[in-house]
Structure 1
Amino acid sequence: MTDPAQPAAPDAPEPAYRAGFACFVGRPNAGKSTLTNAIVGQKIAITSNKPQTTRHVIRGVLHQPQAQLVLVDTPGLHRPRTLLGERLNDLVRATWSEVDVIGLCLPADEQIGPGDRFITGEIEQLRATVIAVVTKIDLIDRSRLAKQLSAVADLADFAEVVPVSAVSGEQVGTLVDVVTTYLPESPQLYPDEMFTEEPTQVLVAELVRESALEGVRDELPHSIAVVVEEMTTEGDLTRIFADLYVERPSQKAIVIGRRGARLKEVGTRARAEIEQLLGGRVYLDLHVRVAKDWQRDPRQLRKLGF
């Protein structure tokens, strides 16, 4: 029972509002884009089991009562073989130099390798707080996870080591809390209703490219680019006309498939994803075009948005 003669305890001060930028880095297929989507709660980054799927810097916004976390999904750092690869690496390094927190993604079911050590060395000298994120913990048992966490802790002097599964959702909330702790005190950066700052046409083009990557040969994914040429809305119907670009006529034949069957499958998958994104019906018209060696041609790269 409270003694009425005692003065009431002062209310605890409101925690400072925090807002800032974070990104997940790691070697191909470490789960970066899947994790970004899981945290934002919206599909803003395409995912694929093909290396170097991500080509654009995409920003997703998570709104919380006392914080705003802006997640930046970047292409993976890799050994470039084309002008496009060089430009993507430059984009990655520029982004890393500007964010507040970097999460190094290390798959729980794979041993730490040279690629992980290389990326660790790249980010150690940056101003950002670096945490280790052990991804895909749903794929292994607890004893194996304990060994992986120990190996990760020995890799570098991380501010934190957080195990997580984007697929099951385990520890995703904990990871958000940890990242938010290291954001600077700041007013809100984006309005409440915004979950990404990317133009809708960019997100639509990425969803078409994701569908086109399904089941293609290993050498083809890097050769596919998508441009939305026209997008109009009439009532609840959005009409989208998009071009898929490849580098050679033989690749065009692969994307189209026998009697157009494969391109039809691409359109069906993409339309379902786009309707979910836009919240309405979609008419999607796709054409495949050849832009010879576009990954090495500065003029073609500019035309395709790189």
Structure 2
Amino acid sequence: MTKEFKSGFVSIIGRPNVGKSTLLNNMIGEKIAIMSNKPQTTRNKVLAILSTEEYQIVFMDTPGIHKPKNKLGEFMVKAARDTLNEVDTILFVVEADKNIGQGELKIIEELKGTNTPVILVINKVDLVKKDMILPLIEEYGKVFDFHSMIPISALNNDGTTMILDDIKKILPEGPQYFPEDMITDQPERQIVAEIIREKVLQLLQKEVPHGVAVEVLSMKDNQNKDIIEITANIYCEKDSHKGIIIGNKGVTLKRIGSLARADIEKFLGSKVFLEVWVKVKKDWRNKDFFIKNFGYQ
């Protein structure tokens, strides 16, 4: 008798900057979602696929649920909320070094409106003493009936196996939705654009990164030189931000390009020539055309 094959969809939700993307990348074993210590890094639903001989889990890494300040923010929150009733399991990621706040309680109220099993993932346990974790688990247990509560450190890849084991128990018997060698639905261009944006987030401070979008204009495989040639635009909202991104004598932009190229080469498995330009699109986060044009739809 053949063993049943399980499959299903899992949404990763939580407030901004709780470690959702780090957790996703660890479970998949590949860098699919960009990571940054800035909140609201993920802007779109990112599909990542984990396939084995026994199961296929399709993860949806969602933007952090927050109070939106512009049309892009409204889109991000809607993208996160839309997944709650579409999936077989929800991973609700919170931080071990923070007590339950209004943001968490608001998400929990939304979870009460679903029939989907919810696994509470208490991330960043490496930042607290062990005796602080149990009281937090008890606190969360009083406000919602979670399927399970798992303390982890996504940064150290500690505890992710327990999450996968729990998901496998919940998953229904089902088909293989995607080819076994497919790890994401994101087009190559979109991932390349996101890698470049990740480097902007890493190198720039304050309000500049949130007003940045990246568009890959061309990707050409130059077989004569055995290299992939990529041209991309970094868009920002203000002329002053353009100067900050470029930096004194172009130093910051060169650094962004150098860091991005290294990660893109790992992702594509090829040498890369990367050309990056900076342009201003004023108030693009409030304009539907630009939001859709930059891939947020």
> What TM-score, normalized to structure 1?
0.92
C-alpha contact 1:104 1:120 (8 A) present in aligned 2: no
Q: Which deviates further from its counterpart, 48-57 or 86-95?
A: 86-95
Q: Which deviates further from its counterpart, 125-134 or 220-229?
A: 125-134
Does 2:165 correspond to 1:177? Answer: yes
Post-superposition Cα deviations, 1:228-287, rounded to whole Å, max 9, x if no partner, equal 000011234111100000011001011110110000010011111111111111111000
Does 2:130 correspond to 1:142? Answer: yes
- Name the SS for the 2:83 alignment partner: helix
Distance 1:233 1:296 in 2: 35
Q: Which deviates further from its counterpart, 14-23 or 40-49?
A: 14-23
> What is the aligned counterpart of 1:20 among 1, 4, 8?
8
For structure 1, the residue ranges without an aligned partner over 5 or more in a row are 1-12
1:193 deviates by: 0.8
For structure 2, the residue ranges without an aligned partner over 5 or more in a row are none
RMSD, aligned α-carbons: 1.4
Distance 2:19 2:293 in 1: 30
Post-superposition Cα deviations, 1:27-57, rounded to whole Å, max 9, x if no partner, equal 1111111000000000000111111111111
> What is the aligned counterpart of 1:67 among 37, 55, 63?
55
Structure-1 residue corresponding to 2:257: 267
C-alpha contact 1:16 1:66 (8 A) present in aligned 2: yes
Structure-2 residue corresponding to 1:48: 36
1:113 deviates by: 1.0
Distance 2:156 2:135 in 1: 21
Structure-2 residue corresponding to 1:244: 234
Structure-1 residue corresponding to 2:197: 209
Equivalent AA in structure 2 for residue 266 of structure 1: I
> What is the aligned counterpart of 1:30 among 18, 35, 40?
18
Structure-1 residue corresponding to 2:219: 231
Structure-2 residue corresponding to 1:299: 289
1:15 deviates by: 4.1
1:73 deviates by: 0.8
1:93 deviates by: 1.8
Post-superposition Cα deviations, 1:145-203, rounded to whole Å, max 9, x if no partner, equal 22222222223100111111222222211111101211221011111111111101000
The share of aligned pairs that are identical, in percent, is: 38
Post-superposition Cα deviations, 1:114-153, rounded to whole Å, max 9, x if no partner, equal 1111111112212321111111122222212222222222
Structure-2 residue corresponding to 1:97: 85
> What is the aligned counterpart of 1:84 among 72, 79, 83?
72
Equivalent AA in structure 2 for residue 141 of structure 1: K
1:76 deviates by: 1.1
C-alpha contact 1:20 1:100 (8 A) present in aligned 2: yes
Equivalent AA in structure 2 for residue 261 of structure 1: V
Post-superposition Cα deviations, 1:197-237, rounded to whole Å, max 9, x if no partner, equal 11010000000000011132221121000000000112341
Runs of 4+ in 1 over 4 A off after TM superposition: none
C-alpha contact 1:50 1:218 (8 A) present in aligned 2: no
C-alpha contact 1:124 1:130 (8 A) present in aligned 2: no
**Equivalences for residues 123-138 of structure 1 within 5 A:** 123-138=111-126
Equivalent AA in structure 1 for residue 205 of structure 2: R
How many residue pairs match? The answer is 294
